[in-house]
Amino acid sequence: MVGIPEVEFGKHRGTMEGGKVVITVQLCDGEQTQDEEGEEYFLLFSGSSQSHLTSALWSGHDTLHTLCPAHDCCEAVQVTLCRARPGRPPAGDPLVSVVAVTEQRFNFVQDLAFDMAQFLVSTAGRPGGLEGALLLDECQIPPEECERLDESLSLALRHLHLPDGWNLLGTHLRNST
């Protein structure tokens, strides 16, 4: 009987916009098989409405890294570490064998950038709708933080579900032409 190997995830949560959180996977108890030619590792994130498959790259003899994918809602998802080995097919499959190495839970959480993106989408085109955004000026956020927040906000807007016909300037432009 083969036991389930221990694997430790460096992060157990990521923001919903994804793309900026590096997830570290630490392989334990004999799973360090980096030297196998053609062997590849993947992480499968399985949520209630979306699934994501990301490749994981070696960064040491027992460590893999991947970027956290974007996700459509705050929730705990199941993450499965998968290993693909060419030339070792199960019966009837001549190409590759893929096995699940282990599973863990991972939480997608909401952050300031996602909150801001939702606020901007909900107030676009409304007279006086952005007055609340002026409060950010009073916070005196350092320039380097503003740049990071800008990148995160851009990612959040890219992955946010927008209403049909949504426009940053509102619907009044479409109605007047």
Query: Tell me, what's the pLDDT at 82?
Result: 92
What pTM value is reported for the model?
Answer: 0.64
In a domain, 125, yes or no: yes
CATH number of the domain to which 74 belongs: 2.60.40.10
Residues 13, 91, single domain; the answer is: yes
| pLDDT single digits (tens) 30-70 | 555 555 677 889 999 999 988 999 999 888 878 888 888 87
Residues 46, 72, single domain; the answer is: yes
In a domain, 88, yes or no: yes
Residues 67, 125, single domain; the answer is: no
Owning domain of residue 133: 112-176
DSSP code per residue over 33-98: -TTSTT-EEEEEEE-SS-EEEEEEEEEETTEEEEEPPP-SSSEEEEEEEEEEEET-PPTT--SEEE
Domains in the chain, number:
2
In a domain, 1, yes or no: no
Query: Tell me, what's the pLDDT at 87?
Result: 66
